[in-house]
Amino acid sequence: MKKGQIIIIEDNKAEMKLLQEAFHHLKFEREIVGITDPEAAFQYIKKHIKEIFLILCDVKMPRLTGPELLEKIKADPALRLLAIPFIFLSNSEDQGDIEHAYSLSAQGYFQKPLDLDKLIHLCSQIVGYWTEARIPRDKYQYTH
């Protein structure tokens, strides 16, 4: 099983708590890092890049949106090369948001279920898929 942190970037504290609770129920042997400020998330990602398994990010956040954060990551050659899966979890069903996410080469866009059981199921599927997927950074050994 691939190791590494799961980063959750979510400015809504209630939704952050629900996501963290979903991962707690799944009992993954991964560190879950919740970050409410996208700028702080970018700095964290740059500093811990080789420790990160997956990024789950909200779309609509103040100061820096999820798509803007993904653009910053893609603009950094070192971050882009490691191909960390970047997946949007949003309350938005807006087709424009979905198309914009995929135009930035996001690896997924899911509407957040507010029901805990449905959220647990969705998180399990996302992590399961990326645990099995082969990506360029598989050559790195994780210590977490």
- Residues 116-137: tens digit of each pLDDT: 999 999 999 999 999 888 776 6
What does pLDDT average to over the chain? 89
Q: For 97-117, what is the mean pLDDT? A: 94
- 31-50 as b/e, with b when 16 or more CB fall inside 10 Å? ebbbbeebeebbebbeeebe
Q: What is the DSSP string of 87-133?
A: EEEES---HHHHHHHHHTT-SEEEEPPSSHHHHHHHHHHHHHHHHH-
Q: For 45-67, what is the mean pLDDT? A: 94
CA-nearest of 11, 5, 23 to 59 is: 11
Q: Report pLDDT for 142.
A: 37
Which domains, ranges and CATH numbers included, belong to the chain? 5-134 (3.40.50.2300)
Quick check: 75 pLDDT over 60? Answer: yes
Q: For 25-31, what is the mean pLDDT? A: 89
State whether residue 9 is helix, strand or coil.
Answer: strand
Quick check: 60 pLDDT over 60? Answer: yes
Quick check: 41 pLDDT over 60? Answer: yes
